[in-house]
Amino acid sequence: MQEVDRLIASRSLAEGARLPSIRQAAARFGVSKSTVVLAYDRLASEGVITPRRGAGFFVSSTNTPLRVSEVEPRVDRAVDPLWVSRQALETPGDAFRPGCGWLPAEWLPDGEIRRALRRLARTGDERLVEYGQPTGPRDLRLQLARRLSASGVGCEADQVLVTASATQAMDLVLRLLLSPGDRVLVDDPCFFNFLALLRAHRVEVIGLPMTSEGPDIAALEAALRQHQPKVYITTAGPQNPTGATLSLARAHRILKLAEQHELTIVEDDVFADFEDRPSPRLAALDGLERVIQIGSLSKTLSAAVRCGYVAVRRDWVDPLIDLTIATSYGSGRLSADLVLHVLQDPAYRRHLGTLRQRLAEARMRLGSELCEARVRLFHQPVSGMFLWGELPDDRDATAIARQALEQKVVLAPGNVFSTSQGARGYMRFNVAQCRSREDLARLRMLLGH
């Protein structure tokens, strides 16, 4: 194949030229005839050469030069809510990413996924090639409903829709609930992609200051009176980025205010499996009346297999199915089947136990390291992978992140999380991405210590 590619590239074989016969090529390249057959077949399926019945193979007429620019972090890009995602996803594999929002590959259950792939390869035909139910497969919905029930969110399986990701689930829900110009509440700081998504929805965003026990209730009340927002997007379990956990008392007050002001709450529960004991869920207290819960398995199972879900009250299921079909023609049956196999694998539960233990250790280690670097932690989280801290000496986190990027280090500067842009000195740290002594030393150096 390489030889033919080379001959075409060097114009020794011009467009439309006939390739050597199988026999000639075997002799010329010193390989067996069956090897040539395979190579020609593959080149034909790539469109490089074209077979003509009885006449042999010919160089295709449209071999335009093809290239993919080597992807490099764009150092000049504006530090907006998409900055961390773009940099973390686009920097090469060997980059150091204390700012990214996921676990390192070696912490994730690739053995279970391999087993699930082999199991899928033995599955009945139509599951591999046909569209599935637009709701997602029945068995996975049951499994997800059981998981939700285990975290206190009593819901039945037909209130659960499988989506391609938590992000897609959120997008669908916002499409259902919002019109351009509507007002939406978020926590300040919050997961930056909420801000990027809301921008795509052309809505007005109002931030609620975060405390270590959840959003500021007085600010919530004032915002409800002043802005009449339709939706409040918040996080269950360890909040991203602060690691804060909602207190039960605060959860009650939020729900009471939501009822008074006819506010719908979208609760993002992607970090569910990071908690040893589930903290209060708004969806659990409310019973999915005015709370919608979304989640995914990207954080603990795999980010390569796209699979999320949304749990809603019954009368919103049907319009969400319509929106799913209109905008993506269904969730992926194969990914959903794969996720189901992994969730059913007892090894996966053990993986979660190990994961939580490793995270606890990593939080301790990085916490004390940051303390020595005079970073003031917002709060000491009891679960999750994030620490949120203020840099010493009034340092500008955005400037530091920009400099770090030139050394292929992806940091998460505070203001990308903040609607008020009041987190200039803050940074989010991923404890699972800073493990070795070298990592920790490098991070301290970048922070100017």
Residues numbered 290 to 309 that lie near its own copies (CB under 8 A) are 298, 302-306
* Closer to its own copies by Cβ: residue 271 or 378: 271
What angle, 0 to 180 degrees and rounded to 10, lies between the N-to-C axes of helices 333-344 and 346-372? Answer: 90
Which two three-digit tokens encode residue 137? 């497969």
* Closer to its own copies by Cβ: residue 156 or 216: 156
* Closer to its own copies by Cβ: residue 90 or 213: 90
Does 27 help bind its own copies (rule: CB under 8 A)? no
Within 13 Å of residue 421, how many CA atoms lie on the same side as its CB?
4
Does 86 help bind its own copies (rule: CB under 8 A)? yes
* Closer to its own copies by Cβ: residue 292 or 338: 338
- State which of positions 141-170 bind its own copies (CB under 8 A): 141-143, 145-147, 149-150, 152, 154-158, 164-168
Question: What are the angstrom distances between the C-alpha of 91 and each of 85, 107, 314, 401, 409?
Answer: 10, 20, 42, 14, 9
Cα radius of gyration (the chain): 26
Q: List 388's β-bridge partners, or say none.
A: 428
What angle, 0 to 180 degrees and rounded to 10, lies between the N-to-C axes of helices 397-406 and 437-446? Answer: 120
Mask 96-125, x = binds its own copies (CB under 8 A)? ------x--xx-xxx--xx--xx-xxx--x
Residue 235 C-beta: closest distance to its own copies, Å: 15
* Closer to its own copies by Cβ: residue 223 or 362: 362
* Closer to its own copies by Cβ: residue 60 or 211: 60
Whether the CB-CB separation of 152 and 281 falls below 8 Å is answered with yes
Does 239 help bind its own copies (rule: CB under 8 A)? no
* Closer to its own copies by Cβ: residue 197 or 219: 197
- State which of positions 190-229 bind its own copies (CB under 8 A): 193, 196-197, 199-200, 202
Does 135 help bind its own copies (rule: CB under 8 A)? yes
Question: What are the angstrom distances between the C-alpha of 442 and each of 46, 72, 97, 173?
Answer: 44, 21, 11, 41
Taking contact as CB under 8 A, which single stretch among the options 137-145, 203-211, 217-225, 254-262 is the one that binds its own copies? 137-145
Alpha-helix residue ranges (DSSP H) falling in 151-232: 166-177, 192-200, 217-227
Mask 329-358, x = binds its own copies (CB under 8 A)? xxxxxxx--x----xxxx-xx---------
Does 78 help bind its own copies (rule: CB under 8 A)? no
Does 419 help bind its own copies (rule: CB under 8 A)? no
Residue in 46, 204, 372, 438 binding its own copies, rule: CB under 8 A: 46
Which residue's structure tokens are 């940051």?
A: 370
Residue in 10, 54, 180, 406 binding its own copies, rule: CB under 8 A: 180
User: Rounded to an integer, what distance in angstroms lies between the CA atom of residue 126 and that of residue 123?
Assistant: 9
DSSP string, 62-123: T------PPP---TTS--STTHHHHHHHHS-TT-B-TT-SS--GGGS-HHHHHHHHHHHTTS
Question: What are the angstrom distances between the C-alpha of 383 and each of 53, 275, 365, 436?
Answer: 64, 6, 14, 20
Residue in 13, 25, 36, 48 binding its own copies, rule: CB under 8 A: 48
Does 360 help bind its own copies (rule: CB under 8 A)? no
User: Rounded to an integer, what distance in angstroms lies between the CA atom of residue 55 and that of residue 35?
Assistant: 19
Taking contact as CB under 8 A, which single stretch among the options 56-64, 259-267, 386-394, 407-415 is the one that binds its own copies? 56-64
* Closer to its own copies by Cβ: residue 152 or 448: 152
Does 31 help bind its own copies (rule: CB under 8 A)? no
Does 16 help bind its own copies (rule: CB under 8 A)? no
Residue 334 C-beta: closest distance to its own copies, Å: 4
Question: What are the angstrom distances between the C-alpha of 413 and each of 82, 186, 410, 446?
Answer: 12, 18, 10, 13
Residue in 5, 17, 21, 60 binding its own copies, rule: CB under 8 A: 60
- 3-class DSSP state of 379: coil
Residue in 33, 138, 225, 256 binding its own copies, rule: CB under 8 A: 138
